[in-house]
Amino acid sequence: MKRGITFGTFDIFHYGHLRILERTRELCDWLAVGISSDELNFSKKGRNPYYSFEERARIVGALKCVDEVFKEESLERKAEYIKRFHADILVMGDDWTGKFDWVIPLTRCEVVYLPRTPVVSTTAIIERIRG
């Protein structure tokens, strides 16, 4: 059985989020998703998420392509999370290309960057609605 792992904030859940999770699950038989803590999201994006960690984790955890969700507290702890879940493959969108290759020698986990779904993003949704 191949075990997968991916990470993200998944705030204001949208089609691009669904597609990365579905495509990741096609590459593995079991999928854990690290949901950024509110604090980690603030440090990455300079704003608080619209939905709380608990709400974002409930939404992602309800998807049939997701087997487990957990809180990601720090980007630097990726190798620790990979080991905790015995992940064989780490998948991220290609906005992160190369950024997590450092886990490969530490974990022997395969790392794959998938193309982002064009156009849609949480930031674009917020800006569009703000008007």
Name the residues that contact ligand CTP, by CB under 6 A.
8-10, 16-17, 20, 45, 92-93, 95, 116-117, 120-123
- Strand-pair partners of 32: 5, 68
CA 4 from chain center: how many Å?
Answer: 11
Nearer to ligand CTP, 19 or 104 (CB): 19
If you ran DSSP here, which 8-state letter would residue 51 be given?
Answer: S
Element (H, E) at 71: strand 68-72
Least separation in angstroms between residue 67's CB and ligand CTP is 17
Q: At its nearest, how many Å lie between ligand CTP and the CB of residue 113?
A: 8
Residue closer to ligand CTP, measured from CB, 6 or 107: 6
Least distance from C-beta 119 to ligand CTP, angstroms? Answer: 7
CA distance 122 to 75: 19
